Amino acid sequence: MSMKKLICLLLTAAMMFSLVACGGNTTTNNTAGNGNTNNSGTTDEGGDAATGDTIRIGVLTPLTGASAQLGNQVAEIYQMVTDIINEEHPELTMAMAANAGIQSMGGAKLELVIADHKSDATTAVSEARRLISEENVVAICGEFTSAIAKAVAVVTEQYQVPLVASCSAVSLTDGTNNFQWFFRYAITDETYIKDTFDFLNYLNENYDAGIETVALFSEDSEFGANIVPLEEKYAEEYGYEIVETINYSSSATNLTSEVMRIKEADPDVLLMSSFVSDALLFFNTCKEQQYTPNFIIGQRGGFIQSDYLTAMGDENNYICTTASWGSDITTAVTQELVELWANSEYNSEKVALMDSHVKDVMNLLFIAMAIEQAGTTENTALREALLNLEYDMDTLMIPWSGIEFNEYGQNTKANGFITQYYDGAYRTVYPEAGASMEPVYPMPEFAY
């Protein structure tokens, strides 16, 4: 075979692999993910979203790359919930379950169009464009980090299509970008951080913890970078001394000097904003250096992902994270979702329900509720409905104090929780009212 032909063959092979493994694999909820089929009356292609029998909702989620585990799980649970919405389930408590489809639009059914953003902003942008202009979706939701959401929000703003996301960066709704088509029902980093420091006060007041110093350990992309200034702000306000600030690259080949510095600084509490891989590397390195942080509060990220929890196992005991939800919340609608997901055929890895899943599910419900309320999929009407959503908190899985939007698309009445991992699950330890366990301070040593 001549040289040129061989090069062409190899490059073609590489491109073919990339097409298969990455972008361009839109799936409707007939055949998504792992070959589960369902027959809830969805059509394959065609049928304009505004007219016709199905309403298409765009779902952007990381099916490959970092966070692929979570991304796939979100795609799966979305399909489960879509089925519930599309079918009659008067026995269920959750919103939109009772009737089949969107009543105000003649029972029109929802159809998910799932796309892989690969945790890459460029891919997310092109996929969002494609969902809107080719697949004619009426709204976009899914699983995003703040960086991806920011990129996609520019597209949805341009096309004036609602984007409902739960990622926590404050800058998405603080007026810096003034997105008119971005909606966040869930809490922001600011609330999480305020909750974190409130928790430190709580430990000092009620458990004599004597916490005075904190150290910040933050990865250097959008996720961590947004959190650091908030931590600094609240540390100063609440009177805690920051003894070390570590910014690191989540793809670092080693975290040795980072751990050595924290060990030297010996903070009472370590605040971590990390993803799965760097968190795991961090803990490995800590053990190598024979160092156990006194107490750790993570900011979700890797701490709540199933591959992290599988790898850590019991070593994760007593590590805390902020959370927007806890599986130990005892409301009927919450436990119902826990059950449904545990027994769902869509749940291919049989993972337990986690707060990332729940937040994302709520966004899908809100879109469905807004369409029901507006009686149309026309975008300005949809936007109106989303901003002034009528709701019954008993039918929603996160017991916030309410839903009330400010001018930038943020629900100001959302609140968060602090959870501490123990014996296989994160348990709510703060606020006291919702707590299922008393917090344990400090953390016991790692086994070296």
Partner 1 sequence: MTVFLQGVYEGIINGSILALIAMGIALVWGVMNILSFSQGEFLMLGMFVSYYANRYLGLDPIVAMPLSAGALFLLGIVIYKLIISRALRGPILSQRLITFALSMVLVYSAQMFFGAEYKQLVNPVIFSGTIDLGFITIAKQKLVPFILALLVAGLLFLFLNRTRMGKAIQATSMDRYAAGLVGINPDRSYTIAFAMASAVAGAAGCALTYYYYMFPNVGATFQLWGFIAVAMGGFGSVTGAFLSGLVMGLADTLTGLYVNTAIKYIGVCVVFLVTVSFRPKGIFGK
Tokens, residue 385: 């409905």
Q: Is 69 in the site for partner 1 (CB under 8 A)?
A: yes
- Residue 371 CA, chain-centre distance (Å), reads 23
Q: Is 17 in the site for partner 1 (CB under 8 A)?
A: yes
Q: Is 445 in the site for partner 1 (CB under 8 A)?
A: no
Per-residue string for binding with partner 1, 294-323, x by CB under 8 A?
-------------x---x------------
Q: Is 221 in the site for partner 1 (CB under 8 A)?
A: no
CA distance 2 to 357: 52
Tokens, residue 344: 């769902």
- Pick the binder of partner 1 from 43, 277, 331, 335 (CB under 8 A): 277
User: Which helix H or strand E contains 216, and what residues bound it?
Assistant: strand 213-219
| 135 φ/ψ angles, rounded to the nearest 5 degrees | -95, -5
Per-residue burial over 32-61, b = 16 or more CB atoms within 10 Å of its CB, e = otherwise: bbeebebebebeeeebebeeeebbbbbbbb
Q: Is 448 in the site for partner 1 (CB under 8 A)?
A: yes
Q: Is 350 in the site for partner 1 (CB under 8 A)?
A: no
Closest approach, Cβ 426 to partner 1, in A, equals: 20
Q: Which residue stretch of 20-28, 167-175, 199-207, 413-421 sits at the interface with partner 1 (rule: CB under 8 A)?
A: 20-28
Number of residues that bind partner 1 (CB under 8 A): 47
Residue 55 is classified by DSSP as E
CA distance 72 to 63: 5
Closest approach, Cβ 214 to partner 1, in A, equals: 17
Cβ atoms within 10 Å of 249's Cβ, excluding its own: 12
Closest approach, Cβ 111 to partner 1, in A, equals: 26
Which parts of 253-272 interact with partner 1 (CB under 8 A)? 253-254, 256-258, 260-261, 264
Q: Is 332 in the site for partner 1 (CB under 8 A)?
A: no
Q: Is 20 in the site for partner 1 (CB under 8 A)?
A: yes
Q: Is 207 in the site for partner 1 (CB under 8 A)?
A: no
Tokens, residue 406: 């400010």
- Pick the binder of partner 1 from 185, 248, 303, 400 (CB under 8 A): 248
Tokens, residue 230: 């908030």
CA distance 350 to 372: 32
Please compute, for residue 232, the number of CA atoms within 13 A of its CA located in the half-sphere on the CB side.
11
| Site of interaction with partner 1 (CB under 8 A) | 1, 3-4, 6-7, 10-11, 13-14, 17-18, 20-22, 64-66, 68-69, 220, 246-249, 251-254, 256-258, 260-261, 264, 276-277, 280-281, 284-285, 287-290, 307, 311, 448
